[in-house]
């Protein structure tokens, strides 16, 4: 589990360096069917190398000291067996769109990873209970991303590395949407479902290269070869 804790800390600091979180935000990685590991309850950029991450059960009360919004992570892991990592972030472009109630269209390659669409949860209250968490997950649907009214965004991926990369993709998707609307081009054609399916590839180290970019220079970054060995 020590390697997984390193990944959680790397993701926390990467999200902060990318400007996607500040005093608020969190990330987690699944351990197994019954448990996941969440970053320390501090501003993510202040996560120290070697800091203890917290083990959380997929079912049951949150442990003492775990932030209430981690309830959403818990319910995602319980309802989506394919989810191996979750991020909760507040990038400036995502925050602007979620405050305005606007869902970004799939206008470029990064947007393709959120087919069929980015979900939108219209309740402006923090998600700290099962009922709101389940409602937000229903709004998210089968996609990888969710905007929450006035409260930022969530991504879920097959791993925390993927979820972190998807957070960057979703923020860029929101940037493009804002640019299109600022230019009066909100009605410009978006990717079709077929376009998105073909474009959203994981081949060619797509996730790995962005992960390396986001974590470059981190003091806990392991020396990894492209085949995953160290």
Question: Does the pLDDT value for residue 37 go beyond 80?
Answer: yes
At 174-210, the pLDDT tens digits run 999 999 999 999 999 999 999 999 999 999 999 999 9
Q: Six-digit token pair at 106?
A: 């799939």
Q: Domains in the chain, ordered, with CATH? A: 2-59+67-215 (3.40.225.10)
At 82-132, the pLDDT tens digits run 999 999 999 999 999 999 999 999 999 999 999 999 999 999 999 999 999
Cα R_g (the chain), whole angstroms? 17
Q: Name every residue whose Cβ is closer than 8 Å to that of residue 5 and which is 6 or more positions away in sequence.
A: 37, 52, 53
In angstroms, the CA 95 to CA 20 distance is: 10
**Stated pTM of the model:** 0.94
In angstroms, the CA 26 to CA 46 distance is: 12
């Amino acid at each position: 589990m020590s390697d997984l804790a390193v990944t959680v800390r790397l993701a926390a600091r990467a999200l902060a360096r990318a400007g996607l979180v500040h005093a608020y935000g969190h990330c987690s990685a699944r351990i197994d069917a019954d448990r996941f590991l969440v970053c320390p309850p501090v501003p993510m950029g202040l996560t120290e190398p070697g800091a203890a991450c917290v083990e959380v059960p997929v079912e049951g009360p949150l442990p003492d000291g775990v932030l209430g919004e981690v309830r959403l992570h818990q319910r995602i892991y319980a309802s989506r067996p394919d989810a191996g990592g979750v991020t909760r972030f507040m990038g400036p472009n995502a925050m602007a769109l979620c405050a305005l109630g606007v869902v970004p269209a799939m206008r470029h390659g990064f947007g393709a990873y959120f087919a069929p669409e980015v979900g939108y949860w219209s309740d402006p209250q923090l998600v700290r209970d099962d009922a709101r968490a389940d409602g937000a997950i229903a709004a998210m649907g089968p996609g990888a991303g969710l905007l929450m009214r006035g409260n930022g965004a969530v991504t879920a991926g097959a791993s925390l590395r993927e979820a972190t990369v998807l957070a960057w993709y979703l923020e860029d998707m929101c940037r493009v949407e804002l640019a299109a609307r600022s230019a009066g081009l909100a009605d410009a054609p978006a990717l079709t479902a077929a376009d998105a399916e073909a474009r959203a590839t994981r081949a060619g180290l797509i996730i790995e290269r962005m992960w390396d970019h986001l974590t470059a220079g981190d003091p806990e970054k392991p020396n990894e070869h492209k085949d995953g060995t160290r």
